[in-house]
Amino acid sequence: MMDELLEQFLIEGRELVQQASDDLLALESQPSDPGRIDSAFRAVHTLKGSVALFDLAPMGKMLHCAEDMLGAVRAGHLPVTHVIIGTLLDCVTASDSWIESIERTGHLPADAAARSRSLQAAMASYLGEADYDNEARMSDAAPAWLSALIDCHHEAVTAARSAGDEITALRYVPSKDCFFLGDDPVALIRSIPALIALDIAEQEDWVIEQFNPFACNLYFEALCAMPIDKVRGIFRFVPDQTVIVNAGSKAVPAEPAGGGMSSDRTGDGAMRTLRVDAGRIDSLVDIVGELVVAKNGLAHLAQQAAATDAKLGRALAANQAKIDGLVGEMHRAIMSMRRVPLARTFQRFPRLMREIAGRLGKEISFKLVGEDVEADKSIIDSLFEPLLHILRNAADHGIEDVTGRRAAGKPPSGRITLEAMRGGDQIVIEVADDGAGIDLDKIRALAKTRSVKSESAIDALDDAAALELVFAPGFSTASAVTDMSGRGVGMDAVRTAIESMGGRVAVTSSRGVGSTVRMTLPQALVINTVITVYIGNERFGVPIDSVTETVRIAVDRIVPIRDGEAFVLRDRTIPLLRLSDLLGLARVERSGDVKLLIVISGEQRIGVEVGGFAERFDVLLRPLEGLLLGMRGVLGTAVLGDGHVLVVLNMAELIDERAFGG
Amino acid sequence: MSVLLEVERIVLRGNCSVEDAEPLVVLLQTHPDFEVDIGDTLHLHSAVLQVLLAFRPRLAGPSQDAFIQTWIVPLLTSVDGRLVPHPRPPCE
Q: Do A179 and B47 contact (CB within 8 A), yes or no? A: yes
Q: Domain for residue B92, yes or no?
A: no
More confident residue, A163 or A468: A468
Domain of residue B40, residue span? 3-87
ipTM of predicted complex: 0.85
Interface test with chain A among B44, B46, B49, B52, by most A beta carbons within 10 Å: B46
**Residues of A with Cβ-Cβ distance to B65 under 8 angstroms:** none
Query: Which residues in B lie closer than 8 A to residue A151 (C-beta atoms)?
Result: 91
Confidence of residue A57 (pLDDT cuts 50, 70, 90): confident
Of the listed ranges A126-130, B24-28, B60-64, the least confidently predicted one is: A126-130
Examine residue B15 and state whether it is found in any structural domain, yes or no: yes
Which residues on chain A are in Cβ contact (under 8 Å) with B25? Answer: 211, 213
Residue A624: pLDDT band by 50, 70, 90 thresholds?
A: low
Residue in A219, A206, A126, A116 with CA at minimum distance from that of residue A174:
A219
Contacts of A187 in chain B (CB under 8 A): 43, 45-46
Contacts of B43 in chain A (CB under 8 A): 186-187, 190
- Hey, is the C-beta of A195 within 8 angstroms of any chain B C-beta? yes
Taking only the tens place, the pLDDT of each residue in A251-271 is 333 333 333 333 333 334 334
Tell me the backbone φ, ψ of residue A181, rounded to 5 degrees: -85, 5
How far away is chain A from the Cα of B30, in angstroms, using its nearest Cα?
Answer: 12
A/B interface, count of CB pairs below 8 Å: 77
pLDDT at A659: 63
Q: Which of B25, B46, B55 sits opposite A216 (nearest CB)?
A: B46
Query: What integer is the mean pLDDT of A482-488?
Result: 42
Note the pLDDT of residue A458: 85
3-class DSSP state of A95: helix
Q: Kindly determine whether residue A197 and residue B87, on different chains, have CB atoms separated by under 8 Å.
A: yes
Please tell me which residue of chain B has the smallest CA distance to A193: B67
Residue of A184, A197, A206 with shortest CB distance to B54: A206
Minimal CA separation from A186 to chain B, in Å? 5
pLDDT of residue A257: 36
Chain B CB contacts of A199 under 8 Å are 75, 85, 88
Q: How far apart are CA A357 and CA A410, in angstroms?
A: 17
Residue A180 sits at the chain B interface (C-beta within 8 Å): no
Contact A186 B51 (CB under 8 A): no
Least confident of A71-85, A290-304, B8-22: A290-304
Q: Does B21 touch chain A (CB under 8 A)?
A: yes
Residue A379: predicted pLDDT: 81
pLDDT above 70 coverage of chain B, percent: 80
Residues of chain A in contact with residue B55, where contact means CB-CB under 8 angstroms, are: 208, 211
Residue of B25, B41, B67 lying closest to A195 (CA atoms): B67
Choose the mutation target among A206, A207, A214, A221 for the interface with B, i.e. most B CBs under 10 Å. Answer: A206
Rounded alpha-carbon distances, angstroms, from residue A426 to A332, A379, A546 = 14, 12, 14
Q: Does B46 touch chain A (CB under 8 A)?
A: yes
Q: Pick the more confident residue, A361 or A524.
A: A361
Quick one: closest CA in B to A195, which residue?
B71
Q: What's the pLDDT tens digit per position in A425-457? A: 678 999 999 998 888 888 888 888 888 788 888
Q: Is the model more confident about A535 or about A423?
A: A535
Apex A308 CA angle, A306 and A310, nearest 5: 40
Task: Taking residues A381-392, report their average pLDDT.
Answer: 87
Q: Which residues of A touch B24 (CB under 8 A)?
A: 213
Q: Using 50, 70 and 90 to split pLDDT, how confident is the model at A320?
A: confident
* Cβ pair A602, A465 in contact under 8 A: yes
Contact A200 B75 (CB under 8 A): yes
B30, burial (CB in 10 Å: exposed 0-12, middle 13-18, buried 19+): exposed
With cut-offs at 50, 70 and 90, classify the pLDDT of residue A516.
Answer: very high
Please give the residue of chain A at the shortest CA–CA distance from B15. Answer: A187
A560 upstream amide cis, omega within 30 of 0? no
Cβ contact A409:A370 at 8 Å: no
pLDDT for the residue numbered A91: 92
- Give the residue among A370, A368, A427, A357 at the shortest CA–CA distance from A399: A357
- Quick one: closest CA in A to B43, which residue? A187
**CATH assignment of the domain containing B40:** 3.30.750
Segment A393-413, tens digit of pLDDT? 899 888 998 888 999 899 989
Cα A624 to Cα A71: distance, rounded to the nearest angstrom:
53
Task: Measure Cα distances from A195 to A274, A343, B46, B86 in Å.
Answer: 30, 41, 17, 15
3-state secondary structure A389-448: HHHHHHHHHHCCCHHHHHHCCCCCCEEEEEEEEEECCEEEEEEEECCCCCCHHHHHHHHH
The reported pLDDT for the residue numbered A525 is 60
In this complex, the residue of B24, B54, B85 whose CB is nearest that of residue A199 is B85
Average pLDDT over residues A167-190: 88
Q: Is A142 on the interface with B (CB under 8 A)?
A: no
Q: Which of A153, A197, A218 sits opposite B46 (nearest CB)?
A: A218
Calpha distance A93→A59 (Å, rounded): 12
Query: Do the beta carbons of residue A52 and residue A110 sit within 8 Å?
Result: no
Helices (H), A361-397: 377-393
Instruction: Mark yes or no for CB contact B46/A202 under 8 Å.
Output: no
DSSP state, residue A592: S
For chain B, the first-to-last Cα distance in angstroms comes to 39
The answer to whether residues A40 and A24 touch, using CB atoms and an 8 Å cutoff, is: yes
A303 or A198: which leads in pLDDT: A198
Nearest Cβ partner of A184 from B45, B72, B85? B45
Does residue B63 belong to any structural domain of this protein?
yes
The C-alpha atoms of residue A519 and residue A480 are separated, in whole angstroms, by 24
- Banded model confidence at residue A128, pLDDT cuts 50, 70, 90: low
Nearest to A200 among B25, B43, B85 (CB): B85
Q: Is A202 at the interface with chain B, CB within 8 A?
A: yes
pLDDT tens-place string over residues A97-126: 999 888 888 888 888 888 888 888 888 877
Residue A477's pLDDT is: 45
- Distance (Å) from the C-alpha of residue B45 to the closest C-alpha of chain A? 6
Q: Are A168 and A246 in contact (CB under 8 A)?
A: yes
Looking at residue A366, what is its pLDDT? 92
Share of chain A above pLDDT 90, in %: 10
Q: How far does A523 lie from chain B, in Å, by closest CA?
A: 41
| Residues of chain B positioned with their CB less than 8 A from the CB of A148 | 91
A6-34 tens-digit pLDDT: 887 888 888 889 889 989 988 888 887 88
pLDDT at A546: 76
Check CB contact of A200 with chain B, cutoff 8 Å: yes
Give the pLDDT confidence of A591-611 residue by residue, as tens digits: 788 899 888 776 678 999 998
| Region B30-45 average pLDDT | 88
Contacts of A224 (CB under 8 A, 6+ apart): A167, A168, A170, A192, A193, A194, A195, A196, A231
Would B36 be classed as within a structural domain? yes
What distance in Å separates the CA atoms of residue A428 and residue A519, rounded to the nearest whole number? Answer: 6
Other CB atoms within 10 A of residue A454 CB: 10
pLDDT score of A134 more than 60: no
Average pLDDT, chain A: 80
Cα nearest neighbour of B21 on chain A: A213
How much is the pLDDT for A78? 81
Q: What is the pLDDT of residue A483?
A: 41
**pLDDT at res. A129:** 47
Domain total of chain B:
1
Percent of chain A predicted with pLDDT > 70: 85
